[in-house]
Structure 1
Amino acid sequence: MLCIGIILLYLLSAPILASSEETSPAEDLGLIDQMTQILEAEQANRFAPTILPIEVLAPETAQSMQQALKAYYDYRTVGYEHRRSVFRWQLLPSKIIFVIVVLLVSAGIYFSWLQFIKGLRTDKDRSSTETTFEASASGIKVSSPVLGVIILVISLAFFYLYLVYVYPIEEIL
């Protein structure tokens, strides 16, 4: 693919190089080497535009290359501004969801504390029913006579799932 690009560039620039009587074959080889280096650098970074030396291009080609570069950078600027506005917009809902999650987890911890206190105050003679919580996919199974343990496990599992699957922020290019 790279060789085809080099050959095409050489064939397109050959009339320009031939019409120029000031260049020597050594200078022509230097320009070809320069274009080859540019094309190899483009292969390393496929998303950046290729900028060829203007002295080997026809004026119309150089002008269209400048227009294409301007359009490319305008496109990149609009894309950047769009991503920036999306992140700015998502910041408020993200903060609201975070506050709601923290309130839910805090309420769960508070209710589990209330159940622990209630469990400690009950008579030991009274038979207590055992509460069971089970999360599948080879997950968690908790059985306890104190309901506070179950509420605490549910609250902490919810908070863990929020931190792992909702909270991480990743930029997609």
Structure 2
Amino acid sequence: MRPVVVMLLMGLCCVPLAMGQEASVAPDGRIAEMVKALDEEETRFAPVMIDPARLDEQGRASQRRALQAYYDYRSEGFDHRRRVFAWQLLSSKIIFLLVVSLVGVGIYFSWLQFRQGFKGGSDADTRTTLEASPSGIKLSSPVLGVIILTLSLLFFYLYLVYVYPIEEIL
């Protein structure tokens, strides 16, 4: 895993240079700092091991239990993150299917409105009407198909721009 992280860090260090900006720290120096920070993070929370020769049997057993508890904790944390990522993958697929279905239904409804408008009819069919009654609201308009199509495509655009993008966090 460390070679992958180092390669990603190298790519990030070269971005300012590719954009015509000068990097404040040489890329090799920045990579070395980041690798050092990763090493420190790996050892920061690990239990401190005392030389077993300096401990009695009870101390060595306690040290083994602490070390086992530490690795159990790290393993459970990894399993939890793996399950969270699996759930996020499944839920994002479900949300994607719902969005595509909603957009498809919107396009279908707009097609129905366009078809009804192309059939023609009397002047009563081409007027915009809005009726509100206790049983509900009724709206009819020759441009209703365009409105539905615009709303469907706008919804899909907003989904693609704000929900769908996947960003990597280092």
The TM-score with structure 1 as length reference comes to: 0.48
The TM-score with structure 2 as length reference comes to: 0.48
Q: Which has the larger radius of gyration?
A: 1
